[in-house]
Amino acid sequence: MPDSPPEEVAETGGPDLISFVDMPARLEAAGLKRISVQRCRQLADEDPAWPKPVTKVGRVKLFDWRVLEDYFRNRTSRQGQRTDRLKSAQEGGPHDRQRGPADT
């Protein structure tokens, strides 16, 4: 008897649960850009639009793949954006202060 549920479970409307570890391969299989497990975790921590986990088994968060696939298809990539500078500007950090005539 197999340990995994039959494939028809996904067809009947049940969630297709995956963890962070499964995400890169699923993205690639769906024809989307493959990103690392670490980047998936970073998006989950920082992006307010990231889908909520369906459940948690021990310390592993499980997400519905169909919801995640929709998220990744509609996500706007901001490659090369310096988020560390954005945080400094919001906090009034020294890197983003206005330069005056005395600074030249």
pTM reported for the whole predicted model: 0.63
Rounded distance between C-alpha atoms, residue 93 and residue 99, angstroms: 13
What is Dmax (Cα atoms) for the chain? Answer: 77
Q: What is the pLDDT of residues 26-54, one digit of tens each?
A: 999 999 999 999 999 999 999 999 999 99
Q: Can you tell me whether residue 64 is helix, strand or coil? A: strand
Question: Which residues, other chains included, contact 67 with Cβ-Cβ below 8 Å and sequence gap of 6+?
Answer: 51
Rg of the chain's alpha carbons, rounded to an integer?
20
The first and second tokens of residue 38, run together, are 């670490």
Give the rounded percent of residues in the chain with a pLDDT score beyond 70: 67
Write down the pLDDT at residue 6. 46
